[in-house]
Amino acid sequence: MVDLSKLNSMSDIQDGHKLDNPCTIVIFGASGDLTIRKLIPALYHLYTDGQMPSSFRVVGFARREKTDESWRDEMRVGIEKYSRTRRVDANKWQAFSGNLYYHRGDLTDFGAYGGLAKRLAASDHAAQFGNLVFYLAVSPSLYGEVVDQLQAAGLLKRYEQNDVNWQRVVVEKPFGRDLQSAQLLNNQLIKHALERQIFRIDHYLGKETVQNIMMFRFSNAIFEQLWSREAIEHVQITVSEDIGVGSRGGYFEEAGTLRDMMQNHLLQILSLVAMEPPPVLEAEDIRNEKVKLLKSIRKMTPEAVAKHVVRGQYFAGTVNGENREGYRQEERVNSKSNVETFVAVKLFIDNWRWSGVPFYLRTGKNLPYSASEVRVQFRPTPNVLFAAQDDLDLQANALTLRLQPDERISLRFNGKVPGNSIETRPVRMHFGYDAEFGAYTPEAYERLLLEAMAGDATLFIRRDEVETAWQIVDDIRAGWGETPLSNHEFYAAGTWGPVAAEDLLAADNHLWHIPAPAK
């Protein structure tokens, strides 16, 4: 039987595989979008890649009337439609789908959990033990109720040192809408489970290239030596999306880009880029460093918000030759909405390493194309040797970590143009993931589900981490107050955001680096 205490570190990865960890995954919200688009396709791919435990079962829990068979059929269609391969192998499906079950029940009905407990215990499936992952693919407003009911039905209990079996709770974003609501959710969850049993998802941490930020930094001496205010002038993080809010207008009206993207994905990328090296690669040590980093971000006073934060909202325009409506015209969006679809922030990290180095973060919807990059801009060389030649195209070194798409790392430096004159030109060294490793692009959810089954919390957000990030976002929101968007905060769909975002960098004599379009 698997011992949880032995399963809390990255060192459990053996030959690229986790220790065999038989378990049952119960998905609450089994008829929802996340389940059909992400969770089941991820589990299926893990299975076909031989990465699932030798014994597992997946139980979908939702209100609609369905049988095991009808749910399996729907999931199969989902894999064909949404998965990264969009293909189902008939034999593998046969074997995989035999582990899928559907349990009809209402999340608010105690009887349904009793029924679930009986079903889990009565099944003659080989995964006949109490190792349980509860995946809450439901609205956060239901988290409290679900864990209460699970505990009452005897399915969830706080892990004790001698327990043979374990239970874990996986929760999705949005994890709250401000610090207060996040604290409430945390209190609801820890009523019946220890922090180490709670796995808060940020799917960006499941992305290969995001994970590679840490490996790149800490395994390459030449870069780590330069990774501080001594050599780095500023850092830019861009996550641009070519999609609008689509059918999610209702959600977006409540969230806005600051909560939807900045609170989680961008601050997570920032933590990995800027944190100190942890003493060891263990979940708690890594997360300690991330929290320390977030806590070192200079507090955003209302004056700082006015100067250093830009928000924006798209109006009608064209993206990739396609006409897009303005945000205010989207379905379920208030026609006078002031919700932001774009945010750019300038942050300072007040610690020894980063003192005085600005970090510029921006993200938005309906930008010209989707691309995510970290751009590290190094300081220029002293203007001595080439000072007399004002026509030289000398640019400071820059390192780009391209997170998606076309994952790559490139370094820009100056090269001499061959010939008799002293002419230089910026040139680049490229490392492309595809060229080096082939097209291996597992979905973020594959990795995250694997880690949750193995009990490794490295790629999940700890309580203090999520709360610290909310504090930053709350300070920004407080600075905005109820002020409506002004004219210069609007941008046409298909452009790189409002002019105010350009001004933010121009004030420091910098320019946003435009990511390369997808190949």
Q: Which residues contact 247 (CB under 8 A, 6 or more apart)?
A: 331
Q: Whole-angstrom Cα distance, residue 359 to residue 238?
A: 11
**Is 127 in a helix, a strand, or coil?**
coil
Q: Do residues 48 and 89 lie in contact, with contact meaning Cβ atoms separated by under 8 Å? A: yes
- Contact between 340 and ligand BG6 by CB under 6 A: the answer reads no
Interface residue with ligand BG6, options 172, 233, 242, 260 (CB under 6 A):
260
Per the CB < 8 A criterion, the answer to whether 414 and 381 are in contact is no
Binding flags for ligand BG6, 32-71, as an x/- string (CB under 6 A)? ----------------------------------------
Neighbours of 407 (CB within 10 A): 20
Closest contact distance (angstroms) between CB of 320 and ligand BG6 is 16
Complex with ligand BG6: residue 173 or 477, whichever CB lies closer: 173
- CB crowding 164-173: b at 16 or more within 10 Å, else e: eebbbbbbbb
- Could you give the CA distance from residue 346 to residue 358 in angstroms, rounded to a whole number? 6
Output the CA–CA distances (angstroms, integers) from residue 516 to 36, 262, 369, 436, 513, in the order listed. 32, 22, 9, 20, 9
Q: Which residue is nearest to ligand BG6 (CB)?
A: 260
Binding mask 116-155 for ligand BG6 (x = CB under 6 A): ----------------------------------------
Subset of 160-179 contacting ligand BG6 (CB under 6 A): 173
445, exposed or middle or buried, with CB in 10 Å at 0-12, 13-18, 19+?
buried
Nearer of residues 174 and 432 to ligand BG6, judged by Cβ = 174
In terms of CB distance, is 227 or 327 closer to ligand BG6?
327
Closer to ligand BG6 by Cβ: residue 278 or 368: 368
Complex with ligand BG6: residue 192 or 207, whichever CB lies closer:
207
Nearest-angstrom CA–CA distance, 113 and 119: 10
Dist. CA 158–CA 170, nearest whole Å: 15
Between residue 293 and residue 322, which ones bind ligand BG6 under the rule CB under 6 A? Answer: none
- State the nearest-atom distance from the C-beta of 451 to ligand BG6, in Å: 17
CB 440 within 8 A of CB 4: no
Q: Give the 3-state DSSP-derived string for 458-494, with helices as H, strands as E and coil as C.
A: CCCECHHHHHHHHHHHHHHHHHHCCCCCCHHHEEECC
Question: Catalytic residues, which ones?
Answer: 265
HEC string of 3-38? CHHHCCEHHHCECCECCCCCEEEEEECCCCHHHHHH
Tokens of 88: 């189902």
CB of 196 to ligand BG6, least distance (A): 24
Q: How would you classify the pairing of strands 56-62 and 100-104?
A: parallel
Shortest gap between Cβ of 117 and ligand BG6 (angstroms)?
32
**223 vs 369, which CB is nearer to ligand BG6?**
369
Query: What would the two tokens of residue 91 be?
Result: 């034999």
In 71-152 the beta strands, taken as DSSP E runs, fall at: 100-104, 132-136
> In angstroms, what is the minimal distance from the CB of 202 to ligand BG6?
8
Residue 269 beta carbon to ligand BG6: minimum distance, rounded to whole angstroms = 11
| The residue type at 123 | S
Q: Return d(Cα 379, Cα 389) in angstroms, integer.
A: 19
Residue 403 or 450 with smaller CB distance to ligand BG6: 403
Judged by CB under 6 A, does residue 241 bind ligand BG6? yes
* Nearest-angstrom CA–CA distance, 261 and 254: 13
Cβ proximity to ligand BG6, 367 vs 454, nearer residue = 367
Least Å distance, CB 10 to ligand BG6, is: 23
Count residues contacting ligand BG6 (CB under 6 A)?
Answer: 3
Q: How far is the CB of 365 from ligand BG6 (least distance, A)?
A: 7
Q: List residues near ligand BG6 by CB under 6 A.
A: 173, 241, 260
